[in-house]
Amino acid sequence: MNAILNFFKPKRGVHPTEHKAESTQLPITKLPLPPALVLPLRQHIGHLPKVLVQEGDYVLKGQLLAEAEGAVSAAIHAPTSGTVSAIAEATIPHPSGLPDICITLIPDGKDVWVERKPQDWQHADKHALVASLRNSGIVGLGGATFPTHIKLRADSASNIHTLIINAAECEPYITCDDMLMREHADEIVQGIVIAQHLLGAQRSIIGIEDNKPQAIVAMQAATAGKHITIVIVPTQYPSGDARQLIRLVANIEIPHNKRATQLGVQVFNVATVRALYRFFCLGEPAINRVVTVTGNVQDPQNFEVLFGTPLPVLLKAAGGEKPNTTHFIMGGPMMGFDLPSHDVPITKAANCIIASSPALFAPPPPAMPCIRCARCADACPIQLQPQELYWFSKSDNFEKARDYNLFDCIECGVCSYVCPSSIPLVQYYRYAKSEIIAQDKAKEAADLARERNEFRLARIEREKQERAQKHAERALGSKLDGAKAEATKAEPEKNEAVTPEASSEDAAKLAKQAAIAAAVDRAKAAKLASQQAGNAPKNVAPTNPAVQQEIAEIDARRKSVGLEKTADVSSNIDAEKQAKIAAAIERAKAMKAAKEAEKLEKND
């Protein structure tokens, strides 16, 4: 009966072949020291940390190499003792494939620790503990890499009641959290206790997918006697998405415009809480993580890897890649990305490396038109209408795409996974999102420029009136003096009665004359200015002379600082910012052009 009922229930998410067994046959292996470690400064979301060392410096294991700078940032530590050989750009594991600043460390092989300072977290001041976390280097190890000290910051506004530990690990192939729970459940549980203490949360819930029975047993044993609940959730991708998991284990649906913390829920990955334990109880900063190496390699397994370890070292430890390997994927097959080269370092975000081959991940067949079968809509965990979003994104109808909640899309890839027409739906959404963001930025800049221009025009108008007023007053003043003298001479008694009348009449006349004179002056000045500028636009209706003068002045100023005259008002905004926006738009356009070219190619 249940089977029949389930048939009619909409099935959110998908259940791809797990491929987890391959990499769980061997225990987590500690990788030997590589010949060099390359540590990108950008291993987290937020600002780049400030480098504290110089080339040639000798550093100890766990020593701070770069400290968090700005509100959202994370520190970088030396994963072992050795010498800083370079601080230069190198390829980092990022979808953009762009190089970024990295610190290269040559290990001395001694692996000497700095002085480690475990903390009495049960009794120490919470604020001091969280403050110390700022330079722990710990970030979300589930892949989001958000600095952890910010998530634990216990300000008065936050009122976290529930701590959720994400152990779902819903992506196929990835097993690092599974293996970590099997082997280090105690450390994870102690980390949970610490996190709960720091947050002041009333309860902790661990969400684990039911395809990890050994991990569940280990966690149950480790949590015995503690007030920690384990909720076993069905294996259904993407249950590991934070909002999905919160709904699954705590039955709380986080509104789209709120953060989980606003509803009193905080989520941490299992590896992150373990790092918390090691930081507070052992005094170790974040210098390593567990990485799954799987796919087209000889011996798929999990390794404990120092950050900065070059990928080839890791691959060699996994028996090397099989011959028909084409490239490497970082992350899982649903949301991962192609590594720009195989010579990249392992970073804090690297939960899984998959060697890819055509046999493993066949290139998708050419996309067919959407037949509106709505399989994507049935599978979308956010209950979006992917087929409508696709239609809007494809036709550049971005406003509609936004109306249909494009920005709620978590890019989990479920829609593409179930699409009979093999449409790369997520790519369309990424494109539409980047385009909308670029447009918003441009619009913001234009609005700002328009506002400034309006303000400027108002100011000019005000100044003009003030000038006319002054002229009038001055002229009236001199005339009045003369009139007064005459009147005193002729008829002293009448003077007081006549003067106000005469003066008001005269004043009006004079003011008018003064205004005319001022206007003529301005016109002359404007003419002069435009002649100087030499390139007065001809098809523009003659504006207020004062405005023209102002424009001429601005042009002159601009020339003096080396900026050419531009026609539109947005030239007021910071040139650098504009250049950035232009670059962003160009990128989006290039993406679109590439996509169109691809489409054409397919149609041929």
Partner 1 sequence: MNRSPYITNAPSVSTIMLKVLLALVPGIFAYVWIYGGGILVTITLATVTALLAEALLLKIRQRPVKPYLMDLSAVVTAWLLALALPPLAPWWLIVVGTLFAIVIAKQLYGGLGYNPFNPAMVGYAVLLISFPLIMTKWPAPLLLAQTKLSFLDQLNFIFSNILPNDVKVDAITSATPLDYLKTQLKLNHEVAAIAQAPIFGTFGAKGGELVTGAYLLGGLYLIQQRIISWHLPTAFLAAIAAISLVFYAINPAHFANPMFHLVGGASLLAAFFIITDPVSGPTTPRGKLYFAAGAGVLTYLIRVYGGYPDGVAFAVLIMNMCVPLIDALTQPRVFGHEK
CB 305 within 8 A of CB 314: yes
Least Å from the CB of residue 184 to partner 1: 29
Least Å from the CB of residue 405 to partner 1: 5
Task: Give one word for 276, left, alpha or beta, with left for phi > 0 and alpha for psi -120 to 50.
Answer: alpha
CB 357 within 8 A of CB 325: yes
Least Å from the CB of residue 381 to partner 1: 7
Least Å from the CB of residue 424 to partner 1: 7
Binding site for partner 1 (CB under 8 A): 8, 10, 14, 16-17, 95, 97, 172, 243, 247, 253-257, 329, 331, 333-338, 340, 356, 361, 364-366, 368-375, 377-378, 381-385, 387-388, 404-405, 408, 413, 416-422, 424, 426-427, 430, 602-604
First-to-last CA distance in the chain?
50
Give the Cα separation of 279 and 461 in Å (integer): 64
Q: Which is nearer to partner 1, 194 or 384 (CB)?
A: 384
Q: Which is nearer to partner 1, 39 or 418 (CB)?
A: 418
Q: Which is nearer to partner 1, 157 or 600 (CB)?
A: 600
Q: Token pair of 383, please? A: 């209950």
CB 288 within 8 A of CB 308: no
Least Å from the CB of residue 256 to partner 1: 4
Q: Which is nearer to partner 1, 79 or 336 (CB)?
A: 336
CA-CA distances (angstroms) from residue 582 to 399, 497, 562?
A: 20, 70, 20
Least Å from the CB of residue 77 to partner 1: 29
The conformation of residue 567, written as its DSSP 8-state character, comes to S
Least Å from the CB of residue 360 to partner 1: 8
Torsion sign over Cα 547, 550, 551, 552: positive
Q: Which is nearer to partner 1, 403 or 505 (CB)?
A: 403
Task: Give one word for 49, left, alpha or beta, with left for phi > 0 and alpha for psi -120 to 50.
Answer: beta
* CB-based contacts of 348, cutoff 8 Å, min separation 6: 43, 44, 74, 137, 139, 141, 145, 286, 289, 307
The conformation of residue 509, written as its DSSP 8-state character, comes to H
**Peptide bond before residue 238 is cis, with ω within 30 degrees of 0:** yes
Least Å from the CB of residue 338 to partner 1: 5
Q: Which is nearer to partner 1, 379 or 581 (CB)?
A: 379
The DSSP element (H or E) to which 229 belongs, if any, is strand 228-233
* CB-based contacts of 592, cutoff 8 Å, min separation 6: 431, 435
Least Å from the CB of residue 596 to partner 1: 16
Least Å from the CB of residue 321 to partner 1: 16
Task: Give one word for 119, left, alpha or beta, with left for phi > 0 and alpha for psi -120 to 50.
Answer: beta
The residue whose two tokens read 């109880």 is 281
Q: Which is nearer to partner 1, 365 or 492 (CB)?
A: 365
CB 189 within 8 A of CB 274: no
Cβ–Cβ contacts within 10 Å for residue 533, how many?
16
Instruction: State whether residue 352 is helix, strand or coil.
Output: strand
Least Å from the CB of residue 598 to partner 1: 11
Q: Which is nearer to partner 1, 55 or 253 (CB)?
A: 253
The residue whose two tokens read 């259940």 is 15
**DSSP annotation string for 519-572:** HHHHHHHHHHHHHHH----SSSPPPPHHHHHHHHHHHHHHHHTT----SSGGGG
Q: Which is nearer to partner 1, 68 or 426 (CB)?
A: 426
Nearest Cα residue to 445 out of 590, 584, 541, 563: 584
Least Å from the CB of residue 253 to partner 1: 6
> What sections of 374-424 are H helices per DSSP?
375-379, 386-394, 398-403, 414-418
Q: Which is nearer to partner 1, 55 or 338 (CB)?
A: 338
Give the Cα separation of 174 and 302 in Å (integer): 9
Least Å from the CB of residue 248 to partner 1: 12
Q: Which is nearer to partner 1, 69 or 100 (CB)?
A: 100
Q: Which is nearer to partner 1, 8 or 156 (CB)?
A: 8
Give the Cα separation of 106 and 104 in Å (integer): 7
Q: Which is nearer to partner 1, 368 or 485 (CB)?
A: 368
Phi and psi of 90, rounded to 5°? -150, 165
